[in-house]
Structure 1
Amino acid sequence: MFPIFYSIGLLIILPASFIISLWKAAFKSKLEWLLDSLVTTALIIWLFQAGNWSWVGYYVRFLWLILLIVTFFFSWKRVRNLPFTIKYTLNQKFSIGIYIVLILFFGTYNALIVKSYTVAEKGIELSFPLKNGTYYVGQGGNQVLMNYHQDHPGQKYALDILKLNTLGTRASGLYPEELDKYQIFTEDLYSPCNGKVVNIQNGLPDLPPPKSDPENPEGNHVALSCEHYDATVLLFHMQKGSIVVEKGEIVTTGQILGKVGNSGNTSEPHLHIHAEKNGKGVPITFNDRFLVRNSWVR
């Protein structure tokens, strides 16, 4: 239940409280309004970029931007005739100090997130392994605030991919136990490259969320040695018994490998994909796109 409350609190309650505060606050000067506006803007931009919006709806992130603009307009009308500064009381000075701290805090977060969008290393170009839907990157990018895999050298630059429904959520319900309520469950997985199957696992069970199997973190999976690249591409958490290729088999780009499941150390159905070389993760791109959290692929 914690992920549910965390998502609602972080992506709904937190931005709502900041926007309501900006809307209703009784400012005594334009400086106070400006600092509150900067804090609220930095927060909304941070959540817009780094929030996992597949829980509450991808389109909600745009709603907060619209509400922020509307709030700017009406709150400015109330303060435009105020002086820029006044002689502040001790409590007002303390509030201004808090504003400055929050601006630095959220500003630093946003600066770090910018790093997620680019990578200096040369990436491996792959074909996207899913078709016929709207797919969403839940974890991805070159910074741990956007991609927790960055803390694990062997999975650096890994992606966790979900599928969205028409409401912009990844499942019917917030965190259902039924696997078939997740949009991506049983989706066909296609080979992202020409290459050779170097390893498979096909017999592990698909677990109902939030159960997981930390003793077999990869779950059912396929490992490919792709042509032209000295690296191994791995696709994790596949459906039990769904893998239709054999170890040692030569595969071509777009060939069906199996289906998305919920096996291994996973919190819910999704595709985990990454490439590694000599035990270290290397970047992957699709149509020359380096995908990050909140990226879409259709």
Structure 2
Amino acid sequence: MSAEALDLVYPFTGRWLVQNSPADQVPSHGTTRFATSYAIDFVPVDASGRSAVFGLGSLFRPEPPEQFIGFGRSVLAPVAGVVVAVHDSATDHPAYRGLPSLGYAMTQRRRADAGWLALAGNHIMIRTGTAVVALCHLQQGSVQFQVGQTVQIGEKLGRCGNSGNSTEPHLHVQAISSLDIARADAVPIRFSGTLPPAGDIVDL
């Protein structure tokens, strides 16, 4: 990890599965669009490492996000700073696993072309020093801060949701060089000095 990496604290408690980590590859999400090169995803899971029970219906039908244990779980501030952007009105759509996930993946290009809001869904962005930290896919109506307010590390920002470009409730975290997401550079991040690879479970 670069010496210029922005050090954050984990923005949650409980058990979360790491996915799409820049510890494994950069760009972590297979694209540099919207400065996502160093972004990372966290999925809330149970003691068995499952985000939800996977039944026969999961193979063939979209599932309500409420069936996932992480839906509504608290998202905390990973850094102190000033809120510079909030979006809180996007609907939490169904989750897609099994065959429905294939159809959803085929429409991802359309969401990317629609822009940042279509991908991030409900989110909050915090300026700290020379970087802006974005926490995305939050639950509709859950964001508890407004633009211009100051946040401290560990304060509750909102709840984990399934808005934007998301196949199941999870939290997407990234840091960027400016609020202009289309032109910003991606900023490397780490958590308390380390960066977990995909497949690790963070248990706090």
Do the aligned partners of residues 157 and 217 (structure 1) sit closer, same or farther apart at CA in structure 2, a change above 3 Å counting? same
Partner of 2:65: 179
Distance 1:153 1:203 in 2: 21
Structure 1 residue 272 displacement after superposition:
0.4
TM-score, length-normalised on structure 2? 0.79
Deviation at 1:200, TM superposition (A): 0.1
Aligned-pair RMSD on alpha carbons?
2.2
Letter of the 1:156 counterpart: S
Cα gap change, 1:172 to 1:232, in 2 (>3 Å): same
Q: Is the contact between residue 144 and residue 151 of structure 1 (CA under 8 Å) also seen in structure 2?
A: no
Tell me the residue number matched to 2:151.
Answer: 251
Look up the match of 1:284: 189
TM-score, scaled relative to structure 1:
0.55
Pairing 1:220–2:125 present = no
Which residue number in structure 1 is paired with residue 95 of structure 2? 209
Q: Shift of the alpha carbon at 1:151?
A: 4.2
Taking the TM superposition and a 5 Å limit, the aligned residue runs for 1:36-51 are: none
Q: Distance in 2 between matches of 1:256 and 1:198?
A: 16
Cα distance in 1 for partners of 2:65, 2:19 equals: 18
Going from structure 1 to structure 2, the CA distance change for 1:281 and 1:141 (only over 3 Å counts) comes to same
Identity %: 28
2:130 aligned partner: 230
- Answer 1 or 2: higher relative contact order, Cα 8 Å, separation at least 6: 2
| Contact 1:150 1:157 survives alignment (8 Å) | no
Unpaired runs of at least 5, structure 1: 1-118
- What does 1:84-123 align with in structure 2 at a 5 Å threshold? 119-123=1-5
What's the offset of the Cα at 1:253? Answer: 0.6
Q: How many angstroms apart in 2 are the aligned matches of 1:139 and 1:224?
A: 22
Q: Which runs of 5+ in 2 are unaligned?
A: 97-103, 179-183
Q: Hey, which bits of structure 1, 4+ residues long, moved more than 6 A?
A: none
Letter in 2 for 1:201: H
Which amino acid counterpart does residue 123 of structure 1 have in structure 2? A
SS at match of 1:217: helix
Q: 2:39 aligns with which of 158, 163, 166?
A: 158
Q: Which has the higher strand share?
A: 2
- 8 Å contact 1:149–1:157 — kept in the other structure? no
Structure with the higher helix share, 1 or 2: 1
* Paired residues, number: 177
Out of 176, 179, 200, the position equivalent to 1:295 is 200
